[in-house]
Amino acid sequence: MQFDLLLVSLARVIVEVAGFALLGRGILALLAGKSRHENLFYIILETITRPAVKAVRWMAPRFIIDAHVPMLAFFLLFWLWIALAIAKRYLCGLHGLTC
C-alpha cells in the first residue's frame, strides 16, 4: 500500500470514529434528556469527542453558543470525511489501484 493512501485512509477512519461518536452522543442526549451527564455511555462518548469539539470551538467565532458547537463539529467532520473520500479516490486512480 502506498504511504499517502495509508495516511488518507487513517485520517478517514479517525474522522469516522469521531463522527459516529458525535452522532451517538446526540442521539443519547435526546433520549436521556437533562440527566445525560450522569449516564456512563454519554460520558464515554463525550470523552471520545472532546478533541473534535474543542478544535471546532477554537475555530468557531464567539457568537456561536457552546451548545451548538458539537452539532457544528459533526457537520465539519462530515464534510471532511467527504473530502477525504475524494482524496482517497484520486490517490487510488493515481496509483492505478481499484479501491
58-90: pLDDT as tens digits: 999 999 999 999 999 999 999 999 999 999 999
Read off the pTM: 0.87
CB 7 within 8 Å of CB 91: no
Helix (H, G, I), strand (E, B) or coil at 47: helix
Determine the Cα–Cα distance for residues 65 and 81; give it in Å rounded to an integer: 24
Report which secondary-structure segment, H or E, holds 51: helix 40-59
Give the three cell numbers for residue 64. 456561536
The full set of domain ranges for the chain reads: 3-94
pLDDT, tens digit (0-9, with 9 covering 90-100), for 19-69:
999 999 999 999 988 888 899 999 999 999 999 999 999 999 999 999 999
